[in-house]
Structure 1
Amino acid sequence: MAEDEDDDRYRAPALDKGLDILELLAGVDGGLTQAEIAKKLDRSPNEFYRMLDRLVRRGYVTRPDGDRYSLTLKLFGLAQLHAPVRRLVSYATPLMRELAETSQQANQLVVLDRGSAVVIAQQEAPDYWGISIRVGSHISLFDTGSGHVLLAFRSPEERQMMISEHLRSTDKPPQSPEFFARLDQIRERGYEMMASMQTAGVFNLSTPVLGSDGKAIAALSIPYITLVNAPKAPDITKTIELLLAATEKLSQLAGSAVSQSK
């Protein structure tokens, strides 16, 4: 009861309302009208007029179709100002570029952010063909190589915390004992290799970027496709070797960076 009273004492209704709008718009494609926003948040449409106007004027929300409100990339841009993320991306970029050239495949760098795996850097394949994922995309912890790696290289207690936070924003049920056994196998062999559950013919290859404490601070992943017209392109076994070498270098840099920032 005392905790609830403290929560009420420090409430900021206007701030809560603005955050409710941003969180709602972040989870939909195509935007929402003022009436749709009000209905989803179980409020009167009139409650949101001034708040939406301020969010548009500050650049967090836009109205591309006149009456529909959509989230802009301003929040993502602010997130990129966060020093550890900027530093990690700056270290990763040349290594990711080199990995794309040597593997002939695209690659992505993924971190955990409030229960979601988020792509913070992307390197295109050097030739015509490759699988790209937009920077800023949120992907699942449960059915992607990056998500598996982020979970695998954490303690059992941390895994449960990560999964609990992830489940707040997804309808997927808790995972089975077999899932946790798979995480242990990934940790033992040092990488994940799995058929993509989103795109046919693609294999997710994912390895951990480790901090100085040996825990995954990011996952570097290749959505591997067989390049029929590129006979000199590395096969999947060689590509895994290249990916492991790249993350070993990045882990050395990131581990040092983490130590310096503490």
Structure 2
Amino acid sequence: MDNSILQNNETVSGVARTMAILEALAEHPEESGVSEIAQKLDMSKSTVYRFLQSLKTRGYVVQDAEDRYRLSVRLFELGAQALPHLDIVREAEPGMRHINELTGETVHLGILDEGSIVYVHKIDSKYNLRMYSRIGRRAPLYCTGIGKVLMAWLDQPELMAHLQDESFKPRTANTLTSIEAYLQELSVVRAQGYAEDHEEFEDNMRCLAAPIRDRFGHVVGGMSVSFPCFRFRDELKQDYVKRLMEAAEQISRQLGWHSKSSTNALA
């Protein structure tokens, strides 16, 4: 066999073992001796020891007086270098296109800015009759699906600070027009994990929205899909919600969020 192929295979194997050891240290910091790691990963103790010493030399792990190992801040430093390059629009694009292909409807990405939503990205409906919107357009927090997911997980003082100056001006017959009604709606959003706009912003237009989180778990954006009422099918609603939430969770993971309950990827 070609020596270069053997070397490549050995390199891949070495990388895989290194990552497995780092992940084991992250998952079980209280059981991070050579024997424990070797047993967990089904590696020989000599192999684990060799890799740990290499990682220690490069500053990625620290060895204590009892010969236990833990991750160093070096890994955090590396991760921190990637954070400025994460862009919510770029990361959201594939998920938004997935939902657009699934439904054929307009998909929006919105963020909170100075007491309102700002649409920072959109993918148009494949139909001629669609919701009017444009990138950069502002919309109210109190009568939109994205507004609800941006508000639902805020701390109470920050939430009330946003709402105290809100007009709650009726946009349609279904618009929520009081803080009390809106707070009750937000409790429903938190419980189910997504928001709905039942013709509250525009007549004859329904919307489903899911939150997008950053690495700290803070909701930093919302992704929505909007349907003219005559194209909205109640029997498909739960499937749309499932796919929308999966896509939003995938985007959140790409932004650094990790949730024990978030295990689904895009189908």
Report the alpha carbon displacement of residue 241 of structure 1 after superposing the two structures with TM: 1.7
Structure 2 match to 1:194? 197
TM-score relative to the length of structure 2: 0.56
Equivalent pairs, count? 169
Residue 143 of structure 2 aligns to a residue whose secondary structure is coil
Structure 1 match to 2:141? 141
List per-residue Cα deviations over 1:223-257 (Å, max 9, x = no partner). Answer: 123565x99xx833322222111101111112359
Report the alpha carbon displacement of residue 171 of structure 1 after superposing the two structures with TM: 4.3
Does 2:179 correspond to 1:176?
Answer: yes
Q: Aligned partner of 2:240: which letter?
A: T
Structure 1 match to 2:242? 241
Report the alpha carbon displacement of residue 85 of structure 1 after superposing the two structures with TM: 10
State which drifts further: 241-250 or 218-227: 218-227
Counterpart contact for 1:107–1:132, Cα < 8 Å: no
Structure 1 stretches lacking a partner, 5+ long: 1-82, 258-262
Change (3 A) 1:85 1:189: farther
What is the CA–CA distance in structure 1 between the aligned matches of 2:251 and 2:90, rounded to whole Å?
10
Change (3 A) 1:84 1:149: farther
Structure 2 match to 1:250? 251
Structure 2 stretches lacking a partner, 5+ long: 1-82, 170-176, 259-267
Q: Aligned partner of 1:245: which letter?
A: E
Structure 1 match to 2:213? 210
Q: Aligned partner of 2:89: which letter?
A: V
Q: Aligned partner of 1:135: which letter?
A: I
Q: Aligned partner of 1:207: which letter?
A: A
Q: Aligned partner of 2:217: which letter?
A: G
Runs of at least 4 residues off by over 6 Å: 83-86
Larger Rg: 2
Percent identity over paired residues: 21
Give the aligned CA root-mean-square deviation in angstroms.
Answer: 3.0
State which drifts further: 129-138 or 91-100: 129-138
Q: Aligned partner of 1:220: which letter?
A: M
Structure-to-structure mapping, 1:1-262, within 5 angstroms: 87-164=87-164, 167=165, 171-172=167-168, 175-226=178-229, 235-255=236-256
What is the CA–CA distance in structure 1 between the aligned matches of 2:107 and 2:85, rounded to whole Å?
17
